């Protein structure tokens, strides 16, 4: 069976058995083809169990559940590959095939017993790809490990030792295969963690806006997305305009202006503005570009530690090359020179970091933390200052409405209903508490229109042509110019009880105050103490709450060093920037839209699981479980990772230096030198995998 388009063959099923397809697709030869993207698209189809790509033969093998719908979805995708799969910076790596390794190994063994007339062309044939790769590397990149491999093979062929040349080529192929396999397995561990986190979204139906489960979306639905929200579908903008951060999809850091008529992909974050988007793809068909870009960027990102190690390893390659050439010039001994050239430092050093990082990321995820790459691990290990947002982070975030004080002829229930209507569009603990209180009292939550958010201040909405404003006293009184003196006495009494206040105005007139209380998480004090025991020197809390409420929290946490109150988002970011200027390496832990600037200013950002989408996107670390102890576990995993990578580096240098020394003295034949080098590399990779798969030590009680 073939997929056809205007007479052109798009794909061909070259082999099929129940639950398995092998598909040939000529477009996989395209130099812009990115195999990471296609792998993500195919893997995200419900029912697909495993995907393996072979770009050399432009084929893909798909194992699936046997369902005809799954089979059809795979073939439909292969017949119409999305443009996003073809990237300028596509991944050009071609995984080593097991059959290829087996064939090379058998051929290498046969050269030991074959006549020289046959062994010679076999040895040249097996060595040729490595030699050509070495020449290409030398011309374009200078003296790298590929040049060492090519030189060792050329020297072996030069003395007529075809068995050694073939065996070294086989060992190099086997090493590549085991390294690819280790890399693939560690990546597979993470793929199930990269699914989109959006569960509900707003849609326009019957003239109003309602919130529905993401799984209930239909093609043609008009989805409404406001500031700070994640775009949950692929579609076309039909109304509004906004700045959309699409870095998780395209890798472009600058926000893109979206307006009516523009196509938009799921995964973008609305930084400013409001959009109505008509859904073109829903459910499992969306989010794939974001998932694949996350894989490509976070799993392949290099930490500072990795970069320094790789730079040193690359500097050692010319030293090895010069040593091998020097030995040949001094002794004219091609065997000894080939033995030296089979040893390099870079393989173990360069591969142990990404493999260790992936295993550490999986271990962290198993313990309730999503870490976005090696840089997050590296930075978290070096952090000496932790800055917390208060509400929803050190506290439960499960705010409860405790008091309702109404004015100007509005009843308490009427006040709560209006406030809930305005806050229903806002993802924040305060808004959630108000909406929950209204629902608990079975109050009607009115439909709103023209909702505007003022980050860290409040919200303005229209309900039945009345302008309802809900927010802090500063927002209501100073920014909106509404007199709040009517509630002075009541507000003072409520704040003295440690309660947070929400002011509500209608058509520029104060109509009431809603008081809420938030409890400190039961694990907070224990976590702060554990962080101090892990080497954290300073713990700071930032909050927009009133001074009285903030001091009440500080008195309950003895390991807290500083607390700052009545802060705007820019104030939080400024405090974080000031701490950085003082030399601190810091992590910021928060959950709201107003925390995003501080997260991006900090060396690393940590977001709570129920945090706003823009906060999750800004953070390098996202807690999956709603438990602050996950933070101390992540810190322990990061420190362990950092130590393991240091150990891998010193082991690679030590072991390979010993092999190099023995080869220099002529004690090792090229085959033995290659075997020792490859086995030591696999051993170091195994250590990195096992070491980072260990569970972190539980926080002390």
Residue 257 lies in a domain: yes
Q: 187 pLDDT band (50/70/90 cuts)? A: low
Q: Could you tell me if 344 and 451 lie in one domain?
A: no
Alpha-carbon gap, residue 172 to 130, rounded angstroms? 9
Averaged pLDDT of the chain: 81
pLDDT score at 194: 47
Average pLDDT over residues 465-477: 87
pLDDT score at 402: 92
- Apex 249 CA angle, 246 and 251, nearest 5: 80
Residues 508-545: pLDDT tens digits? Answer: 899 999 998 888 889 999 999 999 999 999 999 998 77
Does position 145 have pLDDT exceeding 90, yes or no?
no
Residues 222-276: pLDDT tens digits? Answer: 999 887 787 888 889 999 988 887 655 544 555 788 889 888 877 777 877 889 9
Residue 699 lies in a domain: no
**Burial, 675: exposed, middle or buried (Cβ in 10 Å; 0-12, 13-18, 19+)?**
middle
- Give me the CATH number covering residue 486: 3.40.1110.10
Tokens of 233: 């579908």
pLDDT score at 195: 47
DSSP label at 517? E
Query: What percentage of the chain reaches a pLDDT higher than 90?
Result: 20
Give whichever of 140-144, 374-378, 432-436 has the largest mean pLDDT. Answer: 432-436
Q: Could you tell me if 326 and 345 lie in one domain?
A: yes
Q: Could you tell me if 235 and 330 lie in one domain?
A: no
pLDDT score at 439: 93
Q: Could you tell me if 374 and 508 lie in one domain?
A: no
Could you tell me whether strands 562-564 and 538-542 are parallel, antiparallel, or unpaired per DSSP bridges? Answer: parallel
Q: Could you tell me if 542 and 599 lie in one domain?
A: yes
Residue 349 lies in a domain: yes
Phi first, then psi, for residue 441 (nearest 5°) are: -95, 10
Q: Could you tell me if 531 and 607 lie in one domain?
A: yes
CA of residue 201 relative to chain centroid, distance: 23
Q: Could you tell me if 241 and 219 lie in one domain?
A: yes
**Burial, 18: exposed, middle or buried (Cβ in 10 Å; 0-12, 13-18, 19+)?**
exposed
Number of folded domains that form the chain? 5
Residue 675 lies in a domain: yes
Q: 186 pLDDT band (50/70/90 cuts)? A: low
Under 8 Å between Cβ of 646 and 654:
no
Residue 238 lies in a domain: yes
pLDDT score at 388: 93
Please count the other Cβ atoms lying within 10 Å of the Cβ belonging to residue 496.
11
Q: Which of 53, 85, 117 is at the close of a domain?
A: 85
Q: Could you tell me if 165 and 280 lie in one domain?
A: no
Query: What percentage of the chain reaches a pLDDT higher than 70?
Result: 85
Coil, strand or helix: which one is 628? coil
Q: 297 pLDDT band (50/70/90 cuts)? A: low
Could you tell me whether strands 369-371 and 621-623 are parallel, antiparallel, or unpaired per DSSP bridges? Answer: antiparallel
Residue 79 lies in a domain: yes
- Give me the CATH number covering residue 592: 3.40.50.1000
Alpha helix ranges (H) inside 332-468? 334-341, 346-366, 374-382, 412-423, 429-440
Tokens of 145: 């490990």
Contact partners, residue 192, CB within 8 Å, separation at least 6: none
C-alpha closest to that of 682 among 177, 26, 112, 187: 177
Alpha-carbon gap, residue 109 to 258, rounded angstroms? 62
pLDDT score at 269: 79
pLDDT score at 576: 92
- Give me the CATH number covering residue 21: 3.30.70
Under 8 Å between Cβ of 310 and 346:
yes
**Residue of 411 and 153 predicted with greater confidence:** 411
Tokens of 630: 């996950």
Q: Could you tell me if 528 and 381 lie in one domain?
A: yes
pLDDT score at 701: 37
Number of H helices, E strands in the chain: 23, 25
pLDDT score at 510: 92
Residue 292 lies in a domain: no
pLDDT score at 700: 43
Residues 345-378: pLDDT tens digits? Answer: 777 777 777 778 878 887 887 888 888 777 888 8
Range of the domain at 492: 400-517
Please count the other Cβ atoms lying within 10 Å of the Cβ belonging to residue 66.
12
Beta-strand runs (E) in 163-217: 200-205, 208-213
pLDDT score at 162: 82
Report the run of H or E that residue 553 belongs to, with start and end. Answer: helix 547-554
Q: Transcribe 267-322 into DSSP letters.
A: T-EEEEEEEEEEEEE-GGGSSHHHHHHHHHHHHH---HHHHHHHHHHHHHHHHHHH
Lowest mean pLDDT among 22-31, 370-379, 407-416: 370-379
pLDDT score at 427: 66
Does position 3 have pLDDT exceeding 60, yes or no?
no
**Residue of 587 and 157 predicted with greater confidence:** 587
Would residue 520 be called left, alpha or beta, if left means φ above 0 and alpha means ψ between -120 and 50 degrees?
beta
Residue 544 lies in a domain: yes
Q: Could you tell me if 498 and 480 lie in one domain?
A: yes
pLDDT score at 4: 44
pLDDT score at 292: 47
Alpha-carbon gap, residue 452 to 543, rounded angstroms? 22
Q: Which of 286, 312, 334 is at the close of a domain?
A: 286
Average pLDDT over residues 90-115: 73
Give whichever of 42-56, 70-84, 305-319 has the largest mean pLDDT. Answer: 70-84
Q: 6 pLDDT band (50/70/90 cuts)? A: very low
Q: Which of 456, 486, 517 is at the close of a domain?
A: 517
Residues 644-693: pLDDT tens digits? Answer: 988 988 898 899 889 989 988 989 888 888 888 878 888 888 888 888 88
Q: Could you tell me if 412 and 507 lie in one domain?
A: yes
**Residue of 240 and 96 predicted with greater confidence:** 240
Please list, residue by residue across 128-151, b when 16 or more beta carbons sit within 10 angstroms of its beta carbon and e when fewer do: eebbeebeebbeeeebbbbbbbbb
Average pLDDT over residues 472-493: 86
Q: What is the SS3 string spanning 647-663?
A: HHHHHHHHHHHHHHHHH
- Give me the CATH number covering residue 204: 2.70.150.10
Q: Could you tell me if 40 and 12 lie in one domain?
A: yes
Euclidean distance between the first and final Cα of the chain, in Å? 64
Lowest mean pLDDT among 37-41, 160-164, 467-471, 488-492: 37-41
Alpha helix ranges (H) inside 95-161? 98-110, 116-140, 145-158
pLDDT score at 288: 47
Contact partners, residue 319, CB within 8 Å, separation at least 6: none
Global pTM exceeds 0.75? no
Q: Which residues pair with 589 in a beta bridge?
A: 388, 606
Phi first, then psi, for residue 670 (nearest 5°) are: -55, -40
Q: Which residues pair with 281 in a beta bridge?
A: 234
pLDDT score at 500: 82
Could you tell me whether strands 59-64 and 48-54 are parallel, antiparallel, or unpaired per DSSP bridges? Answer: antiparallel
Please count the other Cβ atoms lying within 10 Å of the Cβ belonging to residue 205.
11
pLDDT score at 679: 83
C-alpha closest to that of 280 among 426, 87, 82, 74: 82
pLDDT score at 418: 93
């Amino acid at each position: 069976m073939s997929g056809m388009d205007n007479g052109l063959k798009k794909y061909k099923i070259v082999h099929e058995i129940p639950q398995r397809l092998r598909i040939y697709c000529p477009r996989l030869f395209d130099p812009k083809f990115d195999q990471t993207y296609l792998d993500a698209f195919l893997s995200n189809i419900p029912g697909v169990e495993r995907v393996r790509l072979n770009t050399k033969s432009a084929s893909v093998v798909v194992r699936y559940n046997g369902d005809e719908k799954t089979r059809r979805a795979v073939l439909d995708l292969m017949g119409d590959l999305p443009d996003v799969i073809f990237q300028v910076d596509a991944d050009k790596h071609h995984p080593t095939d097991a059959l290829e390794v087996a064939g090379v190994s058998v051929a290498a063994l046969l050269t030991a017993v074959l006549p020289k007339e046959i062994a010679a062309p076999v040895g040249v044939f097996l060595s040729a790809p490595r030699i050509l790769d070495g020449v290409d590397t030398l011309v374009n990149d200078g003296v790298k490990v590929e040049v060492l491999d090519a030189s060792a093979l050329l020297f072996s062929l030069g003395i007529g030792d075809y068995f050694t040349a073939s065996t070294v080529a086989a060992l190099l192929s086997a090493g590549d295969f085991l390294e690819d396999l280790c890399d693939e397995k560690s990546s597979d561990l993470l793929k199930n963690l990269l699914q989109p986190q959006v569960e509900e979204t707003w849609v326009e139906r019957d003239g109003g806006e309602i919130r529905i489960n993401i799984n209930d979306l239909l093609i043609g639905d008009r989805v409404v997305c406001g500031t700070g929200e994640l775009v949950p579908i692929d579609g076309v903008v039909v109304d509004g305009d906004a700045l959309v951060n699409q870095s998780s999809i395209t890798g472009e850091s600058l926000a893109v202006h979206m307006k009516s008529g523009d196509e938009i992909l799921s995964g973008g974050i609305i930084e400013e503005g409001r959009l109505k988007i008509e859904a073109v793809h829903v459910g499992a068909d969306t989010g794939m570009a974001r998932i694949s870009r996350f894989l490509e960027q976070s799993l392949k990102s290099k930490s500072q530690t990795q970069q320094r190690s790789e730079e040193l390893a690359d500097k050692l390659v010319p030293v090895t090359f010069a040593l091998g050439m020097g030995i040949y010039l001094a002794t004219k001994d091609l065997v000894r020179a080939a033995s030296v050239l089979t040893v390099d430092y870079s393989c173990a050093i360069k591969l142990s970091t990404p493999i260790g990082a992936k295993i550490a990321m999986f271990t962290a995820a198993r313990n309730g933390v999503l870490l976005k790459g090696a840089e997050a691990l590296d930075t978290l290990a070096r952090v000496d200052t932790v800055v917390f947002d208060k509400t929803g982070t050190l506290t439960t975030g499960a705010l409860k409405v405790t008091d309702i004080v109404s004015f100007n002829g509005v009843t308490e229930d009427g006040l709560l209903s209006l406030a809930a209507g305005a806050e229903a569009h806002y993802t924040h603990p305060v808004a959630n508490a108000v909406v929950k209180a209204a629902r608990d009292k079975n109050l009607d939550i009115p439909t709103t229109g023209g909702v505007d958010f003022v980050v860290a201040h409040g919200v303005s909405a229209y309900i039945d042509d009345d302008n309802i404003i809900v927010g802090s006293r500063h927002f209501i009184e100073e920014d909106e110019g509404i007199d709040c003196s009517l509630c002075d006495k009541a507000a003072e009494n409520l704040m003295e009880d440690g309660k947070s206040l929400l002011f509500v105005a209608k058509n520029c007139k104060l109509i009431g105050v809603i008081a809420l209380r938030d409890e400190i998480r039961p694990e907070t004090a224990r976590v702060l103490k554990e962080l101090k025991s892990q080497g954290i020197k300073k713990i700071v809390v930032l909050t927009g709450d009133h001074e009285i409420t903030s001091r009440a929290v500080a008195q309950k946490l003895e390991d807290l060093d500083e607390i700052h109150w009545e802060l705007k988002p820019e104030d939080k970011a400024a405090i974080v920037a000031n701490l950085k200027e003082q030399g601190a390496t810091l992590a910021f832990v928060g959950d709201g839209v107003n925390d995003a600037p501080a997260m991006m200013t900090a060396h690393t950002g940590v977001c709570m699981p129920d945090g706003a989408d823009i906060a999750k996107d800004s953070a390098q670390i996202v807690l999956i479980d709603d438990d602050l102890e996950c933070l101390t576990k992540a810190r322990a995993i990061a420190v362990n990772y950092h130590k393991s990578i240091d150990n891998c580096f010193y082991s690679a240098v030590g072991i390979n230096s010993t092999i190099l020394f023995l080869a220099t003295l002529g004690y090792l034949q090229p085959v033995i030198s290659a075997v020792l080098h490859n086995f030591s590399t696999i051993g170091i990779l195994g250590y990195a995998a096992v070491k980072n798969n260990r569970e972190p030590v539980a926080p002390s009680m």
